[in-house]
Amino acid sequence: METALIGREHSVRMLRARLERARASHGGLVLVTGEAGIGKTSLVRGAVDEAREHGDLLVVHGACWDSDGTPGFWPWTQAVRSLRRGSAAGEWGAAATAAGGALSVLLGEGTGAGDALRFELFDAVTTLLTVMSRSRPVTVVLEDLHWADAASLNLLEFTAQHAWFERLLVIGTYRDVEVQRPDHPLRPLLPRLAARATTVALTGLAPPQVEELVARTAGSRPDAATAAEVCARTGGNPYFVEETARLWSAGQSVTAVAPGVRAVVRRRLALLGAPTVRLLGAAAVLGRRFERGTLARTAGTPEPVAAGLLGETVAAGLLEPSAGDAYVFTHDLVRESLYDGLAEERRRHLHAAAVRTLRDTAGAGDRARPTDLARHAYFAGPDLDAGEAVDILTAAARHAVSRLASEEAVGHYRRALERLGTGDPHRHVLLALDLGAELQLLGEHERSWLVYEDAATLASGTGDAGLVGRVALTLHSADSRGDGTGLKSRALREAHRVLVPGARPADDGPGPLGAPGGAGPVEEVARRVVAAARAAGDDDALHLGLWARLHAVWEPRTAAQRVDVAGELMEVSRRRADVWMEYLAASMRWVALLELDDPAFLRQFYAMVAGADACGLPRTSMISVIDRSVVHAFMGRFPEADDLLARTLALSGTHANYYQYFIGHHRWALSLLQGSFPEAERAHHATPGQDPLYTHVLAGITALEQGAASTGAVPWPGEGPPGDSVLERGIAPLRVRLLAQSAAASRDPARCRQAHAALEPYRGQWLVSLFGWDISGPAALWSGLLHAAEERWEAAVRDLTAARQSADRLHGRPWSVRARTELARVLLARAGPDDEAQATALLRDTETEARELGMPHIADQSRDLLRSLTSPAQPVAAEREFVRHGTVWRLRYAGRTVHVPDAKGLADLHTLLGRPGQDVPATRLLYPDSAPMAAAAAALGSDAVLDDEAKSRYRRRLEVLDDEIDRAAAGGDDRTAAAYDREREALLTELRNAAGLAGRPRRLGDETDRARKNVTARIRDSLRRLAPHHPELAAHLQASVSTGALCRYAPADETRWRL
C-alpha cells in the first residue's frame, strides 16, 4: 500500500500497526484528520482493504451527512446495518440478542420500551460490537465526523471507552480545520475524543510528491515548473492535485485550480453529457446517498434511462454504487458544486418533486423520512403549496418531539412559521405556542417568552376569545423564568376579561397556603374554553382546556376532581391520537389517586406503564421510566429507583432543560428517604437558577431531617419577593411539610397551631408536590408529630397509627417504617400500660425493615431507642445518669429516668458534668472534635478578617467588574454580564461578612463571642425542653450551670454522675 499512496508512508505504517494490534489483542480509536480532499478516505480504505486480505477482519462503514434533515445517530445507523449485512445469520442473531432491543432505534425497525434511552442505546451498540469482535476482529469506519450530531460523537466516545480491551478498532475521519472554527457546534467534543485516540494528521504533499501524483493521474510527468505551480495552487491537497491533473491532461491549464475545487468539479462535470449533468443535479438535491428509483421519479426520467446515465457517472468516478439500487457521491464537494450550480427555480422544482416522490414511497421504518420531507418542503418554496409545506414541517416537528429531539423540533417549528407567514393567524398562534413549549424544554426561557409574546399579540388581534383563552392557559402552565414583562399575568387578565364579561379583574396570584380557590381565574378561563370546545366538537381546544384545568385545580381538596379531569383528558387524547398526552394524563391520574389514599393508584400506574412501554415512542417511554423511579422510591425499592433515575438523566440530555430540575428534585427526595444527607445537600444545590422559595423549602427540610431544632418561620405567599405562582402551588404540600416539621421541632404552641391549620385541607390524604415528582408522606404523619410536640399523646398515637395504616395500604414501606418509629417514640413518652411493650415490638420490626430497605438512619434510631430501654439497671448508688445511646439520651436524677432525643445542648451539659467545678471555654464546646481549632479561636482577638491590602484588592476588582458589566450589557451579551454580576455580588457578600456593626471591621477574635452566644442558646434551649419531662433535673442544672465565654458546672454536693 505504500506504493499506492504517495507521501503517506508514515501514516500507512501507523494505521497498519493499529489494525494489526486489533487483530492480535485489542483495538482502540484512531482519528484521521485533514482538510477536504487530503486523502483521509483513501488512506483508511487502503489500510483496511490490506488488513482484510490477510485475515478474517470484519469491516463496517458509516458516514455523516451535512444536512438539516439528517436524523440522529445516522453514521451509526449505517454502521450497524453494514454489520448486519456483513455477518452470518447466526453470528448476527447472537450478538443482536446480547445487545437487546434498543438497536431497533438505529435500524429503523420495530420499537420497544427502551428505545429512547440513550444509555441503553449506547450500551446496546457497544455490546453488539464487543460480541462480534470475540469471534473475529471488527473495524468500524466512520467518515466525516465534522458533520456528525453530538449524540453520535457521544456514542463514539462511549464505545471507545468501554471496548478498549476488545478486538474492536474504530477509525474516524474529520476535517480538523472546520472543527477549529469558533462557531462549529462540535468544537468542544472532537478534541475530547482526540484525547482518547491515536491521531493521524494528514497535510499537503511536498512538491516531489505532487509531481509523482500528477504523473500517475495524467499519465505523463509534468516538468518541475508545472509541478511546483500545481503544488503552490493546490497546497499539495491530493484531491485538488488529481482534479487539476485530469484537467491538465485534457488540455486545460493548471491555473484552473486557482478558483478552488468547486471550479475544478464544474469543469469536470462539463465533460459529461447534458442529460447526465441534469440527472446529477436532481441527485444532489436528494442528498449524498439516494436510490435510483427515487431519483428517476424526482427527475422525471424513466428508470432504465436513469440507470444508463448513472453508469456513465460511476465510470467518471463521481458516484459509487451502494447497497441495492443506491448510489453515493464519491465526495460531498461534487454534490455541493452540483447543487450550487442549479438555478433557483430548478432547485425549488426538484425539492417539490422530491416531496411528492418521498411522500408516495414513505416507509414506516425509515426514521429519516419525516426530516427528509421537511427539508424538501421548506426549500421547495412557492413550488409547494404553503399549507402542505406547513403540514409536513409540523409533522416533522412532532416526530422530533416524540423522539425527544427538541432542538430539531424547534428548527422545524420555526420553518413552519416562516412558511406560514401571517395568512392564517389562528394556526400561527398555535404553532408559536408549540415552539415556545419546546424552547422551554430546552431551558431557553427568554427566547420562549419572546415567542409567546408574539403569539399573545397575534391572538389578541384576531378577536377570537377562545384563541386568547388558549394562549393564556398555555402561558399559565409555562415556567415563568424569562417572563420579564409579566406576560403570563397580562394574558390571563385579558382572557378572563373576554371570556367572562362583567367579572371583576382577574388576580392570578396564589391563595393562602393550603387553601383552595387560589387559581380561580385560571379555572374559570379553562372552564369556558372547555365548554366552548365541547360545543364546537374541537378536541384540540378541549385537550388544552382540560390540561389547564388539571393545573388550575391542583389543590388539596380537588384531588377527586383531578381524577375525573385526567380521565377525560385521556379519552380526548385517544381521539386525537396523542399517545404522549394520553399517558401523561394517565400519570396525573395515578398521582391524584395516591394523593387520595386510594390503593387503586397502583392499578392505574401499572396500566399506564404497560401502555407507555408498549407504545415504544421515546417520549412515552420517558414517562414510564420517570414514574417507575418515583413509585419504586415510594415503595422502598431504592436500587431500582436509582437505576431508573440514571436512565432518566441520560435520556434528558446534558444541556440545561426542563427535566433536569425535576430529576434533581427526585434525587434529593430519594437521598432523603435513604438518609444520604450529604447527597441530598448536593442534589438541591446542583441545578442553578432555582427559585429562592423552593431552595429555602428544600434546605429547611434537609436540615430538619438531620436533627436541626428548627429552621425558623416558613415564608407564606406574599411575604417574600414575587415568584412563580404555578411553582408556589406546585410546592405547597412541601411547604406544609416544612411548616409542620419545623413547628414540631420548635415545640412553639403558636407555630404548631399554624401548622395544624395548614395541614387541615390535607386530612386523610398524602402530601404530593410537583405533579407527583415529590411524595412527602401521609398528612397524618406530620399532624402526629405536631400532636407529640404538644404532648397530646392520644391524638399523636391516633394520627401516627393512621399514617402507618395508610402507608401499609398503599405499599409505601419507607413511610410505614417512619410512622412506626415515630409512633414508638410517642408510646414511650406517653408511658401508659403496655406502651413500652408495644414500642419495643415496633422498634424491633422497624430496625430490621429499615436496614433491609436501605434506611440506616431510621434503623439506627430504632436501635438506639431499644438500647435505652434494655440498658442494664444501675446500682442504687448511681442515682445520677447522663448517658447517650446513639440519638437518644438516658437521663436519671432524683429517682426519675427519662429518654430524650439528642441535641447539641445536651452534649454541652454532658461535657460540663464530666468536669465539675472547672471552667470550660465555650469555644471548646462549640468545637468538641477539634481542640486545635477551639484553642486557636480562643486565642484570636486582634486581627481583622480582611486587612487593608485585601480590601484594596477587592475594591479594584469591583471597579473592573463594573466596567466589564457595562461593556457586556452595551454589546448585548447578557450571559457574560450576568456572570460578571454574580462575581460582583459574591465579592460584596465577602466584604459585608467582614464588617461588624456600623461597618466596623470584624475581628477574628469575634469567634469567642459567637461561641458564647451559640453555646448559651443551645444549653438554655435543652433545659427548656427538658423541664416538662424532668422538672427536677432541669431545675438542678439551671441552678448549677453557668454559661458565658467560660462555662462551669458547680453543684452544691459532690455526687458523681454516670456519664
What contacts 619, CB < 8 A, 6 or more positions away?
116, 401, 402, 403, 404, 580
Question: Where residue 943 falls among pLDDT bands split at 50, 70, 90?
Answer: very low
Name every residue whose Cβ is closer than 8 Å to that of residue 197 and which is 6 or more positions away in sequence. 28, 29, 30, 31, 160, 172
Asked which of 464-478, 909-923, 965-979 is least confident by mean pLDDT, the reply is 965-979
Query: Is the CB of residue 166 less than 8 Å from the CB of residue 21?
Result: no
Given a cut of 90, is residue 368 above it in pLDDT?
no
Q: Which residues of 1012-1032 are buried (b: 16+ CB within 10 A; e: fewer)?
A: bebbbebbebbbebbeeebee
Say whether 64 sits in a helix, a strand or coil.
coil
Question: Between the CA of residue 82 and those of 89, 316, 728, what are the distances in Å?
Answer: 13, 26, 53
Name residue 922's amino acid: A
* H helix intervals, 766-913: 779-789, 793-809, 813-830, 835-853, 856-870, 904-913
For residue 241, give every residue at least 6 positions away whose Cβ sits within 8 Å of its Cβ, in sequence order, or none.
Answer: 205, 210, 213, 214, 217, 230, 231, 234
pLDDT tens digits for 885-932?
A: 767 788 999 888 888 888 889 999 999 998 888 888 998 888 775 544
What pLDDT does residue 617 have?
74
- What pLDDT is attached to residue 594? 96
Neighbours of 706 (CB within 10 A): 14
* Element (DSSP H or E) covering residue 621: helix 618-635
Sheet with 881-885: list strands edge to edge: 881-885, 888-893, 896-901
Single out the residue of 140, 147, 221, 220 nearest to residue 178, CA to CA.
147
Please, are residues 169 and 22 in contact by the beta-carbon 8 Å criterion?
A: yes
Per-residue pLDDT at 99: 83
Is residue 880 within 8 Å of residue 1058, measured between CB atoms? Answer: yes
Grid cell, residue 1033, equals 433535673
* Mean pLDDT of the residues in the chain: 82
**Alpha helices, DSSP H, located in 871-947:** 904-913, 922-926, 931-939
- pLDDT category of residue 712 using cuts at 50, 70 and 90: low
- What would the 3-class secondary structure string for 347-363 be? HHHHHHHHHHHHHHCCC
Q: Which three cell numbers stand for residue 702?
A: 434537609
Q: What is the Cα–Cα distance from 634 to 641, expressed in whole angstroms?
A: 9
| Span 257-309, pLDDT tens digits | 445 556 656 766 776 788 988 999 999 999 888 999 999 999 999 999 999 99
Angstrom distance (rounded) from CA 340 to CA 270: 15
Taking a C-beta distance cutoff of 8 angstroms, is the pair 327, 289 a contact? yes
Nearest in space to 596 (alpha carbons), one of 428, 814, 765:
765
Phi, psi of 201 (to 5 degrees): -95, 120
- 209's grid cell: 510528491
Per-residue confidence (pLDDT) for residue 512, from 0 to 100: 37
**What span, in angstroms and rounded, lies between the C-alpha atoms of 580 and 484?**
31
Are the C-beta atoms of residues 648 and 626 closer than 8 Å to each other?
Answer: yes
Q: Cell digits for 704? A: 430538619
Does 366 score more than 90 pLDDT? Answer: no
Q: Which cell numbers in the block locate residue 697?
A: 423549602
Q: What is the pLDDT of residue 947?
A: 55
Per the listing, cell 480491551 goes with 165
Other Cβ atoms within 10 Å of 536 Cβ, number: 11
Crossing angle for the helix pair 344-360 and 369-379, nearest 10 degrees? 150
At 975, the amino acid letter reads R
pLDDT for the residue 1022: 92
- Say if CB 19 and CB 139 are below 8 A apart: yes
Phi, psi of 30 (to 5 degrees): -125, 130
Q: Which residues are paired to 294 by β-bridges?
A: none
What is the four-CA torsion angle of 611, 615, 618, 623, rounded to 10 degrees?
-10
Closest by CA position to 921, among listed 1022, 804, 1005: 1005
* 868 or 742, greater pLDDT: 742
Determine the pLDDT at residue 876: 37
d(CA 889, CA 1030): 13
What is residue 938's predicted lDDT score, i.e. its pLDDT? 47
Alpha carbon distance, N-terminus to C-terminus of the chain: 85
**In angstroms, rounded to a whole number, what is the distance separating the alpha carbons of residues 435 and 438?**
5
Residue 941 pLDDT greater than 80, yes or no: no
SS3 189: coil
1044: left (phi over 0), alpha (psi -120 to 50) or beta: left
Higher pLDDT, 707 or 561: 561
C-alpha cell at 695: 431552595
